[in-house]
């Protein structure tokens, strides 16, 4: 039994022990340190030996999407249906597009996913091909690893996952295809301090345990702010 569980067990903290055990039962966790800050593409490439030759998901932790949303499930279905790579996209106000990767897409008749024709990392609003931003969810075909190995540093002198996905789109039939799922649900960019604070309040207000007291407190606090 790992040290934390053993200590909780010894001190009879059964409720905490159950919570820790539940978290460990969710999956097997392997950690890798990126070592050098050479970009998201480089970070993903570091996971190659753990992933092997299967499609895999990349979830950027600062893009918080509530578990009640089925975005990732939908992306996995699209990956299975198309056999390609799938990126999550979301409409943002045009002036915010320079904070994101941006996609040029074509609607696929009769489907709720789109074909990605091109991707550009953090374009100026006037150069952006659309207002569809890449949000931090990807379900990728393992062909991305070889492409990343051959992707030179791009924007910010970093190896960009966006550039590797652009290569898949460019390759057409020579690759397995690049698709997008347009997300219309709720997302918090917790890499932004204000949005991080809002996420904590909004999601905590919805919880059964903390919600009632927190909502009452927020209302009270807001009254004082109006003075």
Please give the residues from 35 up to 94 whose contact with ligand G1P meets the rule CB under 6 A. 40, 60, 63
Please give the residues from 184 up to 203 whose contact with ligand G1P meets the rule CB under 6 A. 191
Least distance from C-beta 62 to ligand G1P, angstroms?
A: 6
Contact 58, 72 (CB under 8 A): no
HSE-CB at 45 with a 13 A cutoff on CA atoms is: 23
Least distance from C-beta 63 to ligand G1P, angstroms?
A: 5
Told to check if 105 binds ligand G1P by CB under 6 A, we report: no
Out of 56, 100, 113, 183, name the contact with ligand G1P by CB under 6 A. Answer: 100
Cα(134)–Cα(121) distance, integer angstroms: 9
Cα(28)–Cα(62) distance, integer angstroms: 21
H or E segment and range at residue 15:
helix 14-25
Least distance from C-beta 14 to ligand G1P, angstroms?
A: 39
Q: How many residues does the chain have?
A: 227
In 81-197, the DSSP E strands lie at 85-91, 101-107, 113-121, 132-140, 178-182, 187-189
Cα(77)–Cα(82) distance, integer angstroms: 9
Least distance from C-beta 184 to ligand G1P, angstroms?
A: 17
Q: Which residues of 148-169 are buried (b: 16+ CB within 10 A; e: fewer)?
A: beebeebeeebbbbbbbbbbbb
Q: Which of 55, 101 has the CB closer to ligand G1P? A: 101
Contact 122, 179 (CB under 8 A): no
Please give the residues from 2 up to 31 whose contact with ligand G1P meets the rule CB under 6 A. none
Q: Which of 79, 162 has the CB closer to ligand G1P? A: 162
HSE-CB at 121 with a 13 A cutoff on CA atoms is: 18
* Binding-residue pattern over the window 123 to 152 for ligand G1P, x denoting contact by CB under 6 A: ----------xxxx----------------
How many residues bind ligand G1P (CB under 6 A)? The answer is 12
Told to check if 162 binds ligand G1P by CB under 6 A, we report: yes
Out of 84, 121, 181, 199, name the contact with ligand G1P by CB under 6 A. Answer: 121
Least distance from C-beta 205 to ligand G1P, angstroms?
A: 24
Q: Which of 78, 92 has the CB closer to ligand G1P? A: 92
Told to check if 101 binds ligand G1P by CB under 6 A, we report: yes
| Interface positions with ligand G1P (CB under 6 A) | 40, 60, 63, 100-101, 121, 133-136, 162, 191
């Amino acid at each position: 039994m790992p040290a934390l569980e053993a200590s909780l067990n010894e001190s009879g903290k059964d409720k905490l022990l159950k919570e820790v055990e539940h978290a460990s039962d969710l999956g097997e966790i392997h950690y890798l340190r990126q070592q050098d800050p050479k970009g998201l593409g480089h970070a993903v490439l570091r996971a190659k030996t753990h992933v092997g030759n299967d499609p895999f998901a990349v979830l950027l932790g600062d893009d918080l999407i509530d578990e009640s949303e089925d975005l990732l499930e939908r992306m996995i279905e699209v990956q299975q249906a198309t056999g390609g790579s799938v990126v999550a996209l979301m409409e943002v106000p045009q002036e915010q597009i320079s904070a994101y990767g941006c996609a040029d897409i074509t609607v696929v008749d009769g489907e709720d996913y789109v074909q990605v024709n091109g991707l550009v990392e953090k374009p100026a609003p006037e150069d952006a091909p659309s207002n569809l931003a890449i949000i931090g969810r990807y379900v990728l075909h393992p062909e991305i690893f070889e492409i990343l190995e051959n992707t030179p540093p791009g924007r910010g002198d970093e190896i960009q996952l966006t550039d590797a996905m652009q290569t898949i789109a460019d390759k057409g039939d020579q690759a397995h295809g690049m698709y997008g799922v347009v997300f219309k649900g709720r997302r918090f960019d917790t890499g932004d301090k204000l949005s991080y604070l809002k996420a904590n309040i909004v999601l905590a207000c919805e919880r059964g345990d903390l919600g009632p007291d927190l909502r009452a407190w927020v209302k009270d606090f807001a009254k004082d702010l109006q003075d």
